[in-house]
Each structure stands twice: as structure tokens, then as C-alpha cells.
């Protein structure tokens, strides 16, 4: 407890030396995109919607610098958000990556949402898939995580972004309630906004990347089928023992603001944010002869919907015309056998998925 008290004083009341811009960038990696095959996982592990994207957030620093904390204070909110919910694995999931690489071979725990200061599982650093050496790649025992969607880069079956090592443990200060939304539950309390004005997740002795030259430290992994966003404030330690603080908005004094602390970049992602307000209604559920798809409050040009069975087989697909405000369509499902199905609606790349039962 004494260490935490000292750290809080260091973080929030410290005198910050002249900044040297040791924080080069915040990197957001699309780690994986789920398909209908992944959604067939045992429901006791947590419902994983089709089209969910797993994002990894890295702090990219100059060599010799150390990640100390991601923090929120009264003048600077720390926020990670989605327009839906975060996915939490209910088997081995936790608020930090405490599962082992052996556990990673089972179900969907590799896609769990958590906070970190370098680790991606026990005894393994998280690294960008492009920096992985391809050795000891995890092969899922349940036949999941096989999707090769090019939007997620290198498939997990080729590079899993895990490298053996001894990353630092997470210390949380003042976020015991908020962080609980990343625990092993999917009961509606897992989102949609993780926020703090008086807390942090931190590395008490500072964390450096697996590669000391690249010095990229994984600080979070988030899986969601909604529109993902964040505003981060970061403290790093300098090679000479000082600190630098970087904030998403309204810097004062020696604080430094860099654009990548806010995601997405509004100049390039306006369309994604517009689609976040679209309303998709798929009904009835259960259904029998006809299934209706209603889309409202949307302005989009590249639109489609698909229907998959519980085995992940594509049964129906339709490309839609440009939607200026509302859209309504019916699907004849009278020939579909009784069972569980997935309806996936994509509006300019923003995906909504829903499980339905046909009886």
C-alpha cells in the first residue's frame, strides 16, 4: 500500500521536467475480426458477435523511455468506449491478461478485453503481429480464430502477437469499480464506456517494449462489434529519471498533446461515427416464415446483409442500395430448418450482428 501511495503522489502531483517528446505515437492494431465460425463457440464462454474486431493499443516510445501509466484526472478524462459492449471471455477472462498460452488454445480467450502494461498473457509480451517471429504460434484447439480477413492483417494462425518474456504486472489505482466491466461477464455491465477522472492503470517500475529499440508497450486489448474510440492520457519516464505527461485534450504547463491520443481520427473516420447512430432492428425473434430487417437514421452507400447458420455456412446475402435515411426488407426463411442463425448487417463497414432463432 505504501508503494501505491508514493506512486499516486508521483503521478498526480509530480513536477514534470521539460518534455523531450519521448512518446512517438499511439498505435492501434486490428488484431482479429470474428466470423460466424467464431460465434459458434460455447455460449458459456460469452457471446461473441459476428464482425467483432479485436483492437490492441500500443504506446510507441523512443529507446530508453518507460511507460508508467495511463491516467485520468479531474482536468483530463481517460475514456475507452464502444457503441455496443465490450466482449469478455467468461471462461479464463479477467481485467488483465492472466491466462496462459496453453489456455489461449481454448475457446475465445485470446480475444478477451483487458488492460495491460506490456503483457498479452502470462509470460508473454504482446507485440504487433508484424514484429512476431512466427515461433510457437497458438493453434486453437476448438477450430476457432481461423478467419483470414485482410482488414486484420496477418492471420492469427500465422502470427499470434505473443513473445516469451517477463512483462510487468498491472497496478490499478482508483479504478476498482470501473475496471470491473472488463471482467469475465457479458451481462450488460461490460460497457459501453470505461472512464475515470481520478485513477490509472500503471507499471510501478516502468515498462519497456519486448524490442528495446522499437519500444512499443501493449497497454490494452479491446474486442467489440461496435464503433471503438478512446481518449488517453499517458505518463512515461525519461532515461534520466524525469517524467513526461501527454494528454488527449487541453494541455497546460508542461503537458504535451499529440493527435494519436484520440481515436478515431475524426478527419478520416467521420463515416464510422455517423453510422454509430444508425438503428438496426431484426425481427421477429423467434421467426418462422419471414424475417424483417429495418434500418433507420442511416446515410450510407456500401451496404449489405448476410445470414449464417450455426456452423458458419453462408445461407443468404444481399447487397443493398444507398440508404439516405430508412430501409426495410423482408427475407423468406420458410425453407430454413429450425435452429440458431446469425444475421449480419454492414453499413459502410460498420457491422451489426444478431442471433435469431427459427422455429
Confidence of residue 13 (pLDDT cuts 50, 70, 90): very low
Domain with CATH 2.60.40.1930 in the chain: 272-358
Lowest-pLDDT choice from 9-18, 265-274, 326-335: 9-18
Say yes or no to pLDDT of 33 above 80.
Answer: yes
CA–CA dist 166, 175 (Å, integer):
25
Q: What is the tens place of the pLDDT at every residue in 312-329? A: 678 888 988 887 777 888
The residue that leads in pLDDT, 86 or 264, is: 86
175-179: Cβ within 8 A, 24+ apart: 175/199, 175/200, 175/201, 179/95, 179/115
| Mean pLDDT of all residues belonging to the chain | 86
The grid cell for 112 is: 478477451
pLDDT for position 43: 66
Average pLDDT over residues 207-214: 96
pTM: 0.74
The pLDDT of residue 20 is above 60: no
Strand intervals (E) in 151-268: 162-164, 171-173, 193-196, 199-207, 216-224, 228-231, 234-237, 243-247, 256-257, 262-263
Residue 15, pLDDT > 50, answer no
Give percent above pLDDT 70 in the chain.
Answer: 87
> Are 241 and 101 within 8 A, CB to CB?
no
Domain at 272-358, CATH from 2.60.450.10, 2.60.40.1930, 2.102.10.10, 3.60.21.10:
2.60.40.1930
Q: What is the pLDDT of residue 320?
A: 87
pLDDT in tens, 113-171: 999 999 999 999 999 999 999 899 999 998 999 999 888 999 999 999 999 999 999 99
Q: Using CA atoms, how far apart are residues 52 and 350, in angstroms rounded to an integer?
A: 10
Closest to 5 in 3D by CA, of 204, 272, 302: 204
Pairing assessment for the beta strands 350-358 and 339-347 based on DSSP bridges: antiparallel
The confidence score (pLDDT) of residue 349 equals 66
List, for residues 79-108, the tens digit of each pLDDT value.
999 989 999 999 999 999 999 999 999 899
Residue 70 has pLDDT above 90, yes or no: yes
The answer to whether residues 118 and 209 touch, using CB atoms and an 8 Å cutoff, is yes
* 307-to-43, 46, 251, 279, 333 alpha-carbon distances in Å: 19, 21, 48, 18, 10
Would you say residue 278 has pLDDT above 70? no
pLDDT score for 126? 98
pLDDT of residue 83: 87
Report the distance separating Cα 293 and Cα 281, nearest Å. 6
268-286 mean pLDDT: 61
Closest to 124 (Cα-Cα) out of 169, 156, 96, 164: 164
- Measured CA to CA, the distance from residue 294 to residue 164 in angstroms comes to 48
Amino acid at each position: 500500500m505504501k508503494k501505491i501511495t508514493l506512486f499516486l503522489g508521483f503521478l498526480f502531483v509530480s513536477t514534470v521536467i521539460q518534455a523531450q517528446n519521448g512518446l512517438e505515437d499511439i498505435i492501434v492494431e486490428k488484431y482479429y475480426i470474428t466470423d460466424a465460425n467464431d460465434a459458434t463457440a460455447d455460449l458459456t464462454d460469452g457471446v461473441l458477435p459476428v464482425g467483432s474486431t479485436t483492437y490492441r493499443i500500443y504506446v510507441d516510445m523512443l529507446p530508453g523511455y518507460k511507460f508508467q501509466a495511463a491516467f485520468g484526472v479531474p482536468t483530463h478524462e481517460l475514456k475507452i468506449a464502444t457503441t455496443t459492449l465490450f466482449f469478455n471471455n467468461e471462461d479464463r477472462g479477467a481485467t488483465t491478461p492472466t491466462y496462459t498460452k496453453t489456455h489461449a488454445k481454448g475457446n475465445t480467450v485470446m480475444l478477451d478485453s483487458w488492460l495491460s502494461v506490456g503483457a498479452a498473457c502470462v509470460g508473454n509480451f504482446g507485440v504487433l503481429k508484424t514484429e512476431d517471429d512466427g515461433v510457437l504460434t497458438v493453434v486453437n484447439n476448438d477450430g476457432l480464430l481461423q478467419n483470414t480477413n485482410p482488414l486484420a492483417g496477418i492471420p492469427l494462425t500465422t502470427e499470434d502477437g505473443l513473445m516469451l518474456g517477463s512483462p510487468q504486472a498491472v497496478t490499478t489505482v482508483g479504478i476498482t469499480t470501473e475496471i470491473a466491466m472488463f471482467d469475465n461477464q457479458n451481462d450488460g455491465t461490460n460497457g459501453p464506456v470505461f472512464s475515470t477522472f481520478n485513477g490509472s492503470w500503471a507499471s510501478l517500475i516502468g515498462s519497456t517494449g519486448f524490442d528495446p529499440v522499437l519500444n512499443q508497450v501493449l497497454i490494452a486489448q479491446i474486442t467489440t462489434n461496435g464503433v471503438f474510440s478512446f481518449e488517453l492520457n499517458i505518463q512515461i519516464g525519461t532515461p534520466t529519471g524525469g517524467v513526461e505527461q501527454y494528454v488527449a485534450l487541453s494541455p497546460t504547463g508542461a503537458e504535451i498533446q499529440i493527435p494519436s491520443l484520440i481515436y478515431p481520427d475524426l478527419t478520416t473516420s467521420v463515416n464510422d461515427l455517423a453510422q454509430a447512430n444508425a438503428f438496426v432492428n431484426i425481427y421477429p425473434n423467434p421467426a418462422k416464415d419471414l424475417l424483417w430487417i429495418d434500418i433507420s437514421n442511416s446515410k450510407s452507400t456500401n451496404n449489405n446483409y448476410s445470414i449464417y447458420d450455426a456452423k458458419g455456412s453462408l445461407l443468404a446475402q444481399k447487397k443493398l442500395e444507398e440508404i439516405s435515411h430508412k430501409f426495410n426488407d423482408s427475407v423468406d426463411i420458410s425453407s430454413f430448418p429450425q435452429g440458431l442463425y446469425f444475421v449480419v448487417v454492414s453499413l459502410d463497414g460498420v457491422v451489426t450482428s444478431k442471433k435469431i432463432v427459427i422455429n
